[in-house]
Chains A and B, each alone.
Chain A
Amino acid sequence: AQSVTQLDSQVPVFEEAPVELRCNYSSSVSVYLFWYVQYPNQGLQLLLKYLSGSTLVKGINGFEAEFNKSQTSFHLRKPSVHISDTAEYFCAVSHTNAGKSTFGDGTTLTVKP
């Protein structure tokens, strides 16, 4: 079985400040890792994914994440946030031999002016 823990349910931050959204996972087998964003009244959209290779992954909208196998973490970062980044962010994992994904409970990022 696999599980995902998003360590912060809510993260308030001021505009242009850096942000880190934390994600830890548990799995007995190799996994792929994903971050999704859900804007208000919209569907989930993929931000970035780690499949293999370089542990630093760059995604859309200036986000990046680092896979740390020893700490079983996949934290999401952005050096300078905008008001428009206000949304719900979900970390997810899937086994390398199975299609379904297991999601965390989400982190609400609120960017204040």
Chain B
Amino acid sequence: GAGVSQTPSNKVTEKGKYVELRCDPISGHTALYWYRQSLGQGPEFLIYFQGTGAADDSGLPNDRFFAVRPEGSVSTLKIQRTERGDSAVYLCASSLRGSGGAYEQFFGPGTRLTVL
């Protein structure tokens, strides 16, 4: 079956602009995660959804970042007033269940965001 998909694959924007990044998880997966990967570093946790609700948003760096998952499937990560420091690869992952951390997370290919 289809894996996790993310669109767009690349996004170039100007400082101060608003961007939306989309994630389509594997069908039937109730948990969805967003991570950010900067050059030379490992993925850094941003937010985790269990169903429609954000179960843990402790990784969001500031209030310019927001994510939604209104129907418990597709999720959108929204970044307002982008800054050059937001440039990174944004990864989405989904898993069958979220609680307990034991369920394998399946990662999408990522969206490379470049803020000029």
A residues lining the B interface (CB < 8 Å) = 4, 6, 31-32, 36, 42-46, 49, 51, 90, 92, 94-106
Q: Which residues in window 97-112 of B have CB below 8 A to A?
A: 98-110
Residues of A within 8 A of B105 (CB): 46, 101
Most buried by A among B44, B45, B98, B110: B45
Residues of A within 8 A of B35 (CB): 103
Say which size band chain B's interface belongs to. 20 to 34
Among B40, B43, B107, contact of A45 (Cβ-Cβ < 8 Å): B107
Chain B nearest CB: distance from A52 CB in Å?
9
Most buried by B among A99, A102, A106: A99
CB pair A44–B107 under 8 Å, yes or no, is: yes
Taking A46-B104, A100-B48 as contacts, is the C-beta distance between A105 and B40 under 8 angstroms? yes
CB pair A43–B100 under 8 Å, yes or no, is: no
Chain B nearest CB: distance from A96 CB in Å?
6
